Amino acid sequence: MLIKGILALILIGLVAWAVRTRVRLKKTRGVENVESTVASPASIALGELVAIAGGIYLSLVLLTSFLKLSLPEKVCIYDNLLIDPLALAAIVIAILQPLFLSLLRRFR
């Protein structure tokens, strides 16, 4: 039970970190919201995180279909949480992308 709580906290922390990093990157790039509605930087970053994960998911589905790879239908996380392995990979990649972008900026 303790391990599940720790893993949940790590996942929540990673998502919060990814959103915060996206907000910081957006501010340094000077990108402004051009729509008539006012959205917070966190909501914009979270929307971008979901959009990027969706794009990665579609690319992974096309790649596995093209290569005719056989993957398990669902992956069990914890005891009762079943998730599509491609969706899990897409979310993990989308969460880790800001880390790689910030590291790339620091090494340039």
Contacts of 33 (CB under 8 A, 6+ apart): 39, 44
* Residues comprising the chain, all counted: 108
Query: What is the reported pLDDT for 38?
Result: 61
pLDDT of 2 reads: 73
What per-residue confidence (pLDDT) applies to 7? 77
Residue 65 is predicted with a pLDDT of 92
Q: Which pLDDT value is given to residue 56?
A: 95
pLDDT beneath 50, residues of the chain: 34, 36
- Position 60 scores a pLDDT of 95
